[in-house]
């Protein structure tokens, strides 16, 4: 216990024992997974599961802190296991050099107390969300893009808590990855450390977690914003009448229809008054990030519950917007499935809108 002396000063011996007796599975050993794994190993987590099917690439090294130039082309879990053991030889590490899929996810998740989503693709995120829901396991999910990061904790042991599908029932297949859109390494380190801290707080039952709350970090202005979210009673996974009964890998093929659902920002700005603009963000987001003049506000969860609110605009060209274009595309797909014909998602959301308006001024 000597190595944890400074930690024990705050959490006492019993707290350190709780950490030692806990097990965590980390899915993804990239920019998020590396700092999560390192922080939890240093904290003394008893059993750490690490999972990734990739090898180290030169472009990984500016943000994936468990690897160096000598590790290029070697598999990540092997290198990570060796390096984590050097940091703390007293913990148990289980390595999985494979990709999470519908055949292995339930079997793996059953073995661990807590699950970390450090993945970089929607297929894995939804698979983890669904599997953790069925197995009633806490899921701490992180995501990063450019100068921003997001964090949410999904507690699946209480029926009043939401899941990923509540806030994003459809996938935006056009969303850029970190490699396409860029990422600053320090952002992954911050969000990864926040994910690790979420685990420690859950284990110790101390502090406040991001349950039913989206925590958003912006590195450019050092702000952390929190948005309270609500469970969707019509969610296909955790709602009152669920239709999803088991885990299944999502089809992520981008179709022509996906592209047609998106209205490019430059096209919108040519004549914004042609459209009926609908904002699906929260009240807090509208206050913090501003709005598009003349918009109609219908928060996403309320839109899912009552799409009829927009029927009065059916004869107009409806454009949906959110922060960056993810939730708005999900809403657009939902409205299309509910009979709305002239509806599109605004590419880039209020974030790109503000940027464009600033440039114009």
Q: How far, CA to CA in Å, does 317 sit from each of 259, 342, 348?
A: 17, 5, 18
> DSSP string covering 174-201, please?
T---HHHH-B-HHHHHHHHHHHHHHHHH
CA-based end-to-end distance of the chain:
59
Helices (H), 21-75: 33-43
Maximum distance among all Cα pairs of the chain, rounded to whole angstroms: 70
Residue 161 CA from chain centroid, whole number? 16
User: 154 pairs with which residues across the strands?
Assistant: 139
CA distance 246 to 51: 22
CA distance 344 to 317: 8
CA distance 325 to 262: 9
**Which two three-digit tokens encode residue 211?**
């349950």
- Select which of 34, 105, 132, 178 is catalytic: 178
The answer to whether 178 is a known catalytic residue is yes
- Select which of 105, 163, 166, 322 is catalytic: 322
Q: How far, CA to CA in Å, does 170 sit from each of 160, 163, 164, 294, 352?
A: 21, 13, 10, 27, 21
- DSSP 3-state assignment of 329? helix
The answer to whether 166 is a known catalytic residue is no
Residue 71 CA from chain centroid, whole number? 28
The vertex-186 CA angle with 42 and 286, nearest 5°, equals 115
- List Cβ neighbours of 296 (8 Å cut-off, separation of 6 or more): 276, 277, 278, 279, 310, 313
Active site residues: 178, 322
């Amino acid at each position: 216990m000597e190595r944890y002396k400074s930690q024990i000063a705050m959490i006492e011996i019993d707290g350190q024992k709780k950490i030692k007796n806990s097990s965590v599975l980390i899915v993804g050993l990239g920019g998020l997974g590396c700092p999560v794994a390192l922080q939890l190993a240093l904290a003394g987590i008893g059993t750490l599961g690490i999972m990734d099917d990739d090898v180290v690439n030169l472009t990984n090294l500016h943000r994936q802190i468990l690897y160096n130039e000598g590790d290029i082309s070697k598999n990540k879990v092997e290198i990570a296991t060796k390096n984590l053991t050097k940091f703390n030889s007293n913990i148990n590490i289980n390595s999985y050099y494979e990709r999470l899929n519908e055949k292995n996810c339930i079997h793996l998740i059953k073995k661990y107390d807590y699950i970390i989503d450090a993945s970089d693709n929607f297929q894995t995120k939804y698979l983890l969300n669904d599997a953790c829901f069925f197995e009633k396991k806490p899921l701490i999910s992180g995501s990063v893009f450019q100068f921003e990061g997001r964090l949410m904790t999904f507690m699946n042991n209480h029926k009043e808590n939401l899941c990923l599908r509540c806030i994003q029932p459809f996938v935006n297949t056009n969303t850029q990855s970190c490699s396409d859109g860029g990422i600053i390494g320090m952002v992954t380190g911050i969000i990864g450390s926040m994910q690790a801290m979420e685990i420690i707080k859950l284990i110790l039952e101390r502090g406040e977690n991001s349950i039913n709350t989206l925590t958003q970090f912006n590195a450019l202005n050092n702000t952390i914003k929190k948005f309270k979210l609500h469970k969707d009673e019509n969610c296909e996974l955790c709602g009152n009448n669920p239709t999803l009964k088991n885990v299944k890998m999502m089809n992520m093929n981008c179709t022509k229809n996906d592209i047609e659902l998106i209205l490019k920002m430059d096209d919108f700005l040519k004549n914004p008054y042609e459209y009926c603009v609908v904002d699906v963000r929260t009240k807090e987001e509208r206050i913090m990030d501003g709005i598009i003049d003349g918009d109609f506000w219908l928060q996403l969860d309320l839109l899912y519950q009552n799409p009829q609110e927009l029927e009065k605009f059916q004869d107009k060209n409806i454009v949906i917007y959110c922060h960056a274009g993810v939730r708005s595309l999900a809403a657009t797909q939902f409205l299309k499935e509910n009979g709305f014909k002239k509806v599109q998602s605004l590419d880039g959301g209020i974030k790109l809108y503000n940027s464009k308006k600033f440039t114009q001024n």
